[in-house]
Amino acid sequence: MIDAGVLPEIRSNSEARGRLVRALAGAVVIVGVVVNAVVGILSLLAPTAFLAAIGEGGSVLTPSSLVFAGYSGARELGIGVALALCAALRIPPALAGALMVAAAANAVDAIDAVTTGRWAQLPGAFLFAAAYACAAMWYARQTARSTHSVSRLA
C-alpha cells in the first residue's frame, strides 16, 4: 500500500520559463536605461566624442553635425528617462509603450545603417530594436492578463 501523505510541490517548466522571461524583460529595461542615458549625456556634453563613436567624427565639426549630436542626445536621454520613470513607478502599460518607441527608433536606425552602408552600426541597432520589441510585447501581455483577471473577479 502506498502512503498518501503530503505530495511534494512540483513546479512546472512554464513557471521557471516565466521567471526567466520576466528577468530578461527587466534586464532589457535596465540595460536600455543605462545605455540610452550614457549615449544621451555623451552626445549632449561631448558631441565630438559621440560623433567619433558612431563613425561620423571628422577633423572639422560642422553646425549640422552638432545639431545631429544634440538631437541624438535629446532622443536617447528622453527614451532613457521615460524607461526609468515607467519602471520606477511600476506602470507596465506605459513601460510597454516606451519600449515600443525605443524599438521603433532603433529599427529606423537599423534601416538607416543598411541604406547608408554603416555596417558597424547595424548589429547594435537591430539587437536593441528586437530586444525592446520583445520586452514591450511581454509587458503588454502581462498588462492584458492582469486586466482580464480583474474583469473576471468583478
- What is the chain's length? 154
Residue 17: all three cell numbers together: 520559463
Compute the distance between CA of residue 89 and CA of residue 61 in angstroms, rounded to an integer: 40
**What pLDDT shows up at residue 59?**
66
Q: What is the torsional sign of CA 19, 85, 109, 59?
A: negative
pLDDT score, position 1: 52
**H or E element at residue 98:** helix 92-116
Residue 76 CA to residue 21 CA, distance in Å, equals 25
pTM of the model: 0.81
Q: What is the pLDDT of residue 4?
A: 54
Question: pLDDT tens-digit profile of 13-32?
Answer: 778 888 999 999 999 999 99
Higher pLDDT, 8 or 46: 46
**Structure confidence at residue 52 (pLDDT):** 85
Q: Residue 147: pLDDT above 80?
A: no
The pLDDT of 148-152, averaged and rounded, is 52
pLDDT at site 154: 47
Can you tell me the distance from the alpha carbon of 93 to that of 110, in angstroms, rounded to the nearest whole number?
Answer: 26
Could you report the per-residue pLDDT of 57-110, keeping only the tens digit for each?
Answer: 666 788 998 899 999 999 999 999 999 999 999 999 999 999 999 999 999 999
> How high does pLDDT run on average in the chain?
87
**What is the DSSP secondary-structure string of 103-148?**
HHHHHHHHHHHHHHT-TTTHHHHHHHHHHHHHHHHHHHHHHHHHHH
Residue type, 30: I
Q: What are the residue ranges spanned by the domains of the chain? A: 20-146
Place of cell 532613457: 80
Handedness of CA 11, 14, 17, 21 (dihedral sign): negative
